[in-house]
Amino acid sequence: MIEKEDCMNILRRIIVGTVLSLIAAAASADLKVATSIEDLASVATFVGGAHVKAFSLCKGYQDPHFVPAKPSLMRLIRDADVFVSVGLGLDEGWLPLVLPGSRNPRIQPGAPGFVDASEGVAVIDKPVGTVSRAEGDVHPLGNPHYYMDPANLIVVASHLARVFAELDPANATVYERNAKAFAAKMQAQSKAWEATLAPYHGASIVTFHRNFEYFLARFGLKRFGTVEPRPGIPPAPRYLAELAASMKREGVRVVVYQPYFDANASRGLASRAGGAAVEAPTEVGGVPEAGDVFAKFQVDVDRIAVALQAGAAR
Among 125, 176, 262, 292, interactor with other proteins by CB under 8 A: 262
The answer to whether residue 105 forms part of the interface with other proteins (CB under 8 A) is yes
For residues 214-233, which are near other proteins according to CB under 8 A?
Answer: 232-233
The answer to whether residue 104 forms part of the interface with other proteins (CB under 8 A) is yes
| Least Cβ distance, residue 127 to other proteins (angstroms) | 8
205: part of which helix (H) or strand (E)?
strand 204-207
Contact between 32 and 79 under an 8 Å Cβ cutoff? The reply is yes
Q: By CB under 8 A, which span of 94-102, 149-157, 158-166, 299-307 interacts with other proteins?
A: 94-102
Among 54, 56, 94, 157, interactor with other proteins by CB under 8 A: 94
Angle between helices 38-48 and 293-313 (to 10 degrees): 130
Amino acid at residue number 165: A
Among 52, 95, 186, 284, interactor with other proteins by CB under 8 A: 95
| Least Cβ distance, residue 276 to other proteins (angstroms) | 21
Contact between 146 and 121 under an 8 Å Cβ cutoff? The reply is yes
Q: Around Cβ 198, how many Cβ atoms within 10 Å?
A: 11
| Least Cβ distance, residue 102 to other proteins (angstroms) | 8
Evaluated on CA atoms 79, 84, 87, 93, the torsion sign reads negative
The backbone torsions φ and ψ at residue 208, rounded to the nearest 5 degrees and listed phi first, read -70, -50
- Helix, strand or coil, per DSSP, at residue 282: coil
Largest Cα–Cα separation, the chain: 88
The answer to whether residue 176 forms part of the interface with other proteins (CB under 8 A) is no
The answer to whether residue 100 forms part of the interface with other proteins (CB under 8 A) is yes
The answer to whether residue 78 forms part of the interface with other proteins (CB under 8 A) is yes
Nearer to other proteins, 51 or 70 (CB): 70
Convert residues 27-66 into a mask of x (bound to other proteins by CB under 8 A) and - (unbound).
--------------------------------x-xxx-xx
Nearer to other proteins, 91 or 168 (CB): 91
Among 70, 162, 180, 248, interactor with other proteins by CB under 8 A: 70
Nearer to other proteins, 131 or 192 (CB): 131
- The rounded distance, in Å, linking the Cα atoms of 52 and 29 is 5
- The rounded distance, in Å, linking the Cα atoms of 146 and 141 is 12
- The site for other proteins (CB under 8 A) is made up of 59, 61-63, 65-72, 74-75, 78, 85-97, 99-105, 108-110, 116, 118, 127, 130-133, 136-137, 140-141, 232-234, 259-260, 262
